[in-house]
Structure 1
């Protein structure tokens, strides 16, 4: 499945020409908006690329890099969240390794709620939230894992996983938090919500969500030959959850993704220079 009809692998880019261009695919999660716009800023201002941003769902993001209608993504959550997408596209794209360590998935609640484990949801804890978990985009790896969690913990019959979006989930959480009301959401780290609110993950004693993960960079096959300069930078791109949080919080506080990325790149010249070496 191509991301854009008529897009061909390579896109006619010239490493030494004036028409250097690259397509970055990403999902509209706060974390991936932050990382992809920082990559875009470096590619454009430091390496002279024309960058096209392709905002899609997780499945099309993987498929687009695999079929060459996108050149790269810095938003692959492994080994658990996106393992299905990786299996579906095995051998069709190149893994450049992790660009961020220390991610986590799970069910998240405000710390003022008297519930600490997913196992507790089999009791009366669900009444206060109408037995509803507020989720994100349908088809996201986090949603698929949460469906598996509901099955494993015997919640399927009584509980509903509400399909939403990353932005709508965060807004619902913020609204409930401001009113000190109960809410359960699908959550992940890094995310700005943990800096803005006192939250906690529900314990997952069965380990369905998996352990801490990494976010990987993937590129289309052939990018190394077509655009070695961009490939080398993407291969070197690596930052921390704190770095990502700085960009996310600026966006939440009103900056555009472009502005937040530009500020971070300018303030972290040493890190950027290391990527470009």
Structure 2
């Protein structure tokens, strides 16, 4: 499990990346691989969404093994979708549909390329400590004082934040609670501190996420369906993606990763190691899951 210090430092590191990383021109080289694809690939990664970081690091390792040159750039969703539509980014692997990122796809969908869902088990949640005295969102308003009258969120621009603001809060009468938005690392820090002390805490979260293995937490039931049902995690490419990457297009359209594999990769990256140097960790995971990984490029 990550230590408290490790979580805090990761937040600083990601924030630094977010502050300096803008859309860079993808495909900076005109070099083409033997399989017909452009050699350079820029993958945009949503800040704080660990399943996207894990999938992006996995594909970085896989593609570099195939001769590609891969760059990961961290950014908020809005500039990512703008960048994809402008062909400044080539790919992002963490679009949740039909709910979480709907507004972005409504705006940019006709200018970017949907490469299909690689996981169909995703879900937005409101999580609390496992021994909290409530089990449902419709109990939260009447017991808000037990949670310090706070709901701890993630990045202001995240789709989960939009759904919480527009759906969850009004549906369940949570307007009098303080809804705190900052960053995913900050939310995880609050979650760890509260569960370590045995305090009640309520946070916006999502499955799949390594926090469910790291902390004693449970999801509040959502009887009104404000958070939506199960979602698919899609890969989206730039407007020119299929033309620039005919082989990679096929690989990504066939890409599938169930929660068992995803949790396994997330756990070794974010729980079991105290480093942000994910390369060697992912390489070892690939070696331990070689049959699955070999199938990604068939």
Q: TM-score, normalised by structure 1?
A: 0.92
Partner of 1:89: 108
Structure 2: runs of 5+ lacking an equivalent: 1-20
Q: Deviations over 1:72-99 (max 9, x none)?
A: 1110011100000110102101111101
Q: Does 1:163 align with 2:181?
A: yes
Matches within 5 A, 1:119-134: 119-123=138-142, 125-134=143-152
Q: Does 1:193 align with 2:214?
A: no
Matches within 5 A, 1:36-185: 36-45=56-65, 47-123=66-142, 125-148=143-166, 149-156=168-175, 158-185=176-203
What is the rounded CA distance, in whole Å, between the counterparts of 2:107 and 2:38 in structure 1? Answer: 33
- Work out whether residues 24 and 89 of structure 2, in 8 Å CA contact, stay in contact via their aligned partners in 1: no
Cα distance change, pair 5–104 in 1 and its aligned pair in 2 (3 A):
closer
Cα distance change, pair 54–6 in 1 and its aligned pair in 2 (3 A):
closer
Partner of 2:240: 222
Q: Tell me, what secondary structure is at the counterpart of 2:292?
A: helix
What is the rounded CA distance, in whole Å, between the counterparts of 1:82 and 1:5 in structure 2? Answer: 19
What is the rounded CA distance, in whole Å, between the counterparts of 1:132 and 1:68 in structure 2? Answer: 40
Deviation at 1:19, TM superposition (A): 7.9
Deviation at 1:225, TM superposition (A): 1.9
What is the rounded CA distance, in whole Å, between the counterparts of 1:155 and 1:165 in structure 2? Answer: 21
Q: After superposing the two structures, state which structure 1 stretch, 224-233 or 214-223, moved more.
A: 224-233
What is the rounded CA distance, in whole Å, between the counterparts of 2:45 and 2:67 in structure 1? Answer: 21
Cα distance change, pair 272–6 in 1 and its aligned pair in 2 (3 A):
closer
Cα distance change, pair 134–51 in 1 and its aligned pair in 2 (3 A):
same
Structure 1: runs of 5+ lacking an equivalent: none
What is the rounded CA distance, in whole Å, between the counterparts of 2:223 and 2:137 in structure 1? Answer: 8
Partner of 2:293: 272
Q: After superposing the two structures, state which structure 1 stretch, 191-200 or 224-233, moved more.
A: 224-233
Partner of 2:33: 16
What is the rounded CA distance, in whole Å, between the counterparts of 2:229 and 2:67 in structure 1? Answer: 39
Deviation at 1:141, TM superposition (A): 0.3
Deviation at 1:14, TM superposition (A): 2.7
What is the rounded CA distance, in whole Å, between the counterparts of 2:81 and 2:214 in structure 1? Answer: 31
Q: Deviations over 1:9-56 (max 9, x none)?
A: x444432279821000011211111111101111112x1111111100
Q: Tell me, what secondary structure is at the counterpart of 1:100?
A: strand
What is the rounded CA distance, in whole Å, between the counterparts of 2:145 and 2:268 in structure 1? Answer: 36
Larger fraction in helix: 2
Cα distance change, pair 5–81 in 1 and its aligned pair in 2 (3 A):
closer
- Work out whether residues 33 and 257 of structure 1, in 8 Å CA contact, stay in contact via their aligned partners in 2: no
Q: Tell me, what secondary structure is at the counterpart of 1:98?
A: strand
Partner of 1:208: 226
What is the rounded CA distance, in whole Å, between the counterparts of 2:128 and 2:24 in structure 1? Answer: 44
